[in-house]
Amino acid sequence: MLENLVQWDKELMIFLNNFGSETFDSFWLFITKQLNWLPFFLLLLYLTYKKVSVKKLVLILLFLAVLIAFTDQMTNLVKRVVARPRPCNTEDIVAMLRVVKCSSTLSFFSGHASNSTANMVFLFLILRRYYKHAYLVFIFPLIFAYSRIYLSLHFPGDILVGMCVGVFFGTAFYSLYVWVENKYSDKLI
């Protein structure tokens, strides 16, 4: 069963990765860098700032920082245990891929997918109280995660599992945030 899943993942990787063309390579190289998303993050920070007190904003930023660190460390732990090579380093398929970027680090599961999804789930759950279209925050993890397939850095399964982990951690941290928010509501005004 596991062998079948791995084979399907490889086949889907080849299929999705080969949609690319040199014309769009620079775009996806730009998309995959977190720093290039800074204007988007600043917009989210501003939108949050408009709706919550400064004390709550500091609490949200603290939760986001811990969420990033926690998700990153869990991702790295799983990567070391599973030790799956990246598609660009997988000998039986590399000749069938468009390798735009490669790395010698491990693949399963995607830290880009887990971290971006965790943070956007957390922010979505906060912002949905105030904004009708808060769901638009999910544009970021979807595009960001696809860039990893396009560049040949992650298998689709790495992305899917990373996003699932991100949903779980983002929701868990939001639940903890609500508990803290309720417990100390008089101090967060």
In the predicted structure, residue 186 carries a pLDDT above the cut 80: no
Neighbour tally for 26: CB within 10 Å: 10
How does pLDDT run across 17-44, given as a tens digit for each residue? Answer: 998 889 999 999 999 998 999 999 999 9
Parent domain of 176: 24-187
For the ranges 20-34, 137-151, 174-188, which has the lowest average pLDDT?
174-188
Q: Output the pLDDT for position 151.
A: 94
Flag whether 118 is in a domain: yes
CA distances from 20 to 80, 100, 126, 141, 143 (A): 30, 9, 36, 19, 14
Domain count for the chain, please give it. 1
How does pLDDT run across 95-142, given as a tens digit for each residue? Answer: 999 999 999 999 999 999 999 999 999 999 999 999 999 999 999 999
> Which strand (E) or helix (H) includes residue 115?
helix 111-127
What SS3 class is residue 91? coil
Flag whether 3 is in a domain: no
- Alpha-helical runs (H) found in 18-110: 22-31, 38-51, 54-82
Sign of CA dihedral 122, 175, 154, 134: negative
Tell me, what amino acid is at 18?
N
Q: Output the pLDDT for position 90.
A: 92
Flag whether 100 is in a domain: yes
Query: Cα-Cα-Cα-Cα dihedral of 178, 181, 184, 189, to 10°?
Result: -160
Give this prediction's pTM.
0.90
**Average pLDDT, whole number, for the chain?**
93
Q: What is the mean pLDDT of residues 59-79?
A: 96
Flag whether 8 is in a domain: no
Flag whether 46 is in a domain: yes
Report the alpha-carbon distance of residue 54 to residue 52 in Å, rounded.
7
